[in-house]
Amino acid sequence: MLYITHDYSVALSRPDKIRMQVRGDVENRNTIMNNGKVSIYDLEANAYAEIPVEDDIDDALDTLIDDYGLPIPLTQLLYSDTAVDMDEDLESDGYYFGTVNVDNKPCYYVGFPGKEWDIQLWIEKGDRPLIRRASFVDKMMKDQPRSMIKVAWNIDEITDQSVFTFAAPKGAKKIEVKKVSTDKAVEKDQK
């Protein structure tokens, strides 16, 4: 089994702002979404792209995935209603495996088999049912890779909105990102 490690730092301000920093074995990039534009900066290549998207985070994520073929890490946890997003793929109502401790917090341990993904979640008991750990098995890829995610929440309001502003580093090369062709686009063009 191949293990790849990444650390993510995510700031989110609904309805239209995300900042994600990824540092790890195979990916080192910053992704900033702000008011209808996503800027993606690859640290190792010193290159960046800017992509116009919808103002709403949910719609923007759909556009990045569907129109550009860009996988955004932690997408399942960034949608405003994770349960609705997951429900489209699920094959059953899921399973409850009991209560376990994650970082000394009692959590419900649940699993959901799906057509494209198998998902397991550890959800904190109590007034704030925060996801503390998640596991995703990608059933659409060869060898069905698994992502294990441990989540540390800071749900305080973000007061420094400048974290959602992208400025290209000196000497960074701007690259063009083109839409991928999809069956929907082909059908639309044929009409």
Render 60-91 in DSSP notation, one character per residue.
HHHHHHHTT----TTHHHHSTTHHHHHHTTBS
Domains of the chain (ranges plus CATH)? 6-175 (2.50.20.10)
Question: Which of the four pLDDT bands, split at 50, 70 and 90, describes residue 182?
Answer: low
Q: How confident is the model at residue 189 (pLDDT cuts 50, 70, 90)?
A: very low
pTM of the model: 0.78
Q: For 98-144, how does the pLDDT look when each residue is reduced to its tens digit (9 = 90+)?
A: 999 999 999 999 999 988 888 899 999 999 999 999 888 888 888 88
pLDDT in tens, 73-104: 788 788 888 766 666 666 667 899 999 999 99
pLDDT of residue 89: 63
Which residues, in sequence order, are CB contacts of 127 under 8 Å at separation 6+?
none
Give residue 40's identity as a one-letter amino acid code.
I
Strand order from edge to edge, sheet including 146-150:
95-102, 105-113, 117-124, 131-138, 146-150
Query: Mean pLDDT, to the nearest integer, of 35-53?
Result: 96
* Cα–Cα distance, 174 to 101 (Å, whole number): 46
Task: Enter the DSSP assignment of 114.
Answer: B
- Closest C-alpha to 36, from 22, 20, 50, 19: 50
* Largest separation between any pair of C-alpha atoms in the chain: 58
